């Protein structure tokens, strides 16, 4: 599915990932409708700056609303009739879901339900909805594969995302809506979220403050650079799943009854948290003062993506090494904050 003359709806367009996806689709010739509630979960000025940059492109328009508001999405779909939907809007954060679970019900469950209803009334050609590696929860066998059973989520955030997968599957089956769910693995890079470890560590290290290192540093993460993530998403756009009864050459649907699949997007290489911190030290030219703490509730000690399906579908797999990705983030951070 090429972008020329077509319309894409990107929810969460003023967010970290949404901004990068919208910018790439615009560059590829899509007309992009951005949708975002501009909530104050983190500094709204960062979201406003991302939105302002997107609005410099004549092919971009923006709707500031909440997903869960009745009729907003249905009216938007009737007006814009998007060919492509990239659903990235959500209440994010594992730890915040312990403190404010109701916001996850509203945005992630009710909001995604409103989106599915709008897609049912005005079907796009392909819908790509964000999930998370957190759905693998207590699974201990790694790397995580899409076919692994994932029924032991360890945070309410992860539970809402697993519910989104199930909700989307039912709509895909009932209404023949092609849906791809992608499970992200610790995305980082320029214009990142201030609540993420890289942002917090960089700010603290440059400010001469200690950083909190959980589980005493015994953590591993499959860090995925934002440019690699966006490339993977864009390459998945034309590979929409079909009902299993139809022979296809673009990969398995991963469902016996619906045009629905799950795809991991990760770097396929777990990195020790302490090595990640060393990369920040190298990029900033400063040594971190580490405050070792126990594991936080809802967190997991390691993540590791099996990206064989992504490679099979698209011929692409993320490959940006952590030192390079961190260097690019720190360069952006210093420029943006004049640090």
| 35 phi, psi to nearest 5 deg | -135, 130
Helix (H) or strand (E) holding 15: none
Report residue 118 CA to chain centroid gap: 21
- Determine the Cα–Cα distance for residues 126 and 119; give it in Å rounded to an integer: 10
Contact residues for 142 (Cβ-Cβ < 8 A; gap 6+): 270, 302, 303, 304
DSSP state of 13: T
157 is a catalytic site residue: yes
Report residue 82 CA to chain centroid gap: 20
**Ramachandran sector of residue 82 (left: φ over 0; alpha: ψ -120 to 50; beta: rest):** beta
Residues of 24-62 as b/e, b for ≥16 C-beta within 10 angstroms? bbbeeebbbbbbbbeeebbeeebbeebbeebeeeebbbb
| 212 phi, psi to nearest 5 deg | -90, 120
Check 41, 42, 104, 157 and give the catalytic one.
Answer: 157
Helix (H) or strand (E) holding 252: none
CB 293 within 8 A of CB 259: no
Rg from Cα positions in the chain: 19
Half-sphere exposure of 90 (CA within 13 A, CB side): 28
- Determine the Cα–Cα distance for residues 34 and 12; give it in Å rounded to an integer: 7
**Strand pairing report for 271-272 and 220-221:** antiparallel
Residues with a known catalytic role: 157
């Amino acid at each position: 599915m090429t972008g020329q003359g077509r319309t894409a709806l990107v929810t969460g367009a003023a967010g970290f990932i949404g901004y990068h996806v919208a910018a790439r689709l615009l560059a590829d010739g899509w007309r992009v409708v951005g949708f975002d509630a501009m909530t104050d979960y983190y500094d709204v000025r960062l979201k406003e700056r991302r939105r302002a940059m997107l609005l410099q492109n004549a092919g971009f328009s923006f709707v500031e609303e909440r997903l869960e508001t009745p009729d907003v999405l249905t009216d938007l779909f009737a007006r814009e009739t998007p060919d492509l939907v990239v659903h990235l809007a959500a209440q994010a954060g594992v730890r915040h879901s312990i403190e404010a679970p109701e916001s996850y019900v509203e945005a992630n469950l009710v909001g995604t339900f409103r989106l599915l209803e709008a897609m049912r009334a005005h079907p796009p050609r392909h819908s790509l909805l964000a999930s998370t590696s957190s759905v693998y929860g207590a699974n201990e066998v790694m790397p995580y594969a899409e076919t692994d059973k994932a029924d032991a989520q360890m945070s309410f955030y992860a539970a809402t995302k697993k519910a989104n997968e199930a909700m989307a599957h039912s709509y895909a089956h009932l209404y023949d809506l092609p849906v791809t769910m992608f499970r992200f693995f610790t995305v980082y890079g320029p214009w990142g979220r201030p609540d993420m470890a890289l942002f917090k560590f960089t700010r603290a290290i440059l400010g001469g403050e200690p950083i909190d290192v959980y589980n005493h540093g015994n953590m591993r993460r499959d860090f995925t650079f934002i440019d690699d993530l966006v490339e993977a998403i864009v390459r998945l756009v034309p590979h929409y799943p079909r009902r299993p009864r139809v022979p296809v050459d673009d990969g398995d649907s991963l469902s016996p009854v619906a045009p629905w699949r799950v795809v991991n997007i990760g770097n396929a290489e777990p990195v020790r948290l302490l090595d990640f911190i060393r990369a920040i030290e190298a990029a900033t030219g400063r040594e971190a003062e580490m405050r070792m703490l126990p594991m936080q509730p809802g967190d997991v000690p390691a993540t590791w993506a099996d990206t064989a399906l992504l490679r099979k579908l698209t011929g692409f797999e993320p490959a940006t090494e952590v030192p390079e990705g961190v260097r690019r983030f720190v360069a952006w951070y210093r420029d943006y904050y004049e640090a």
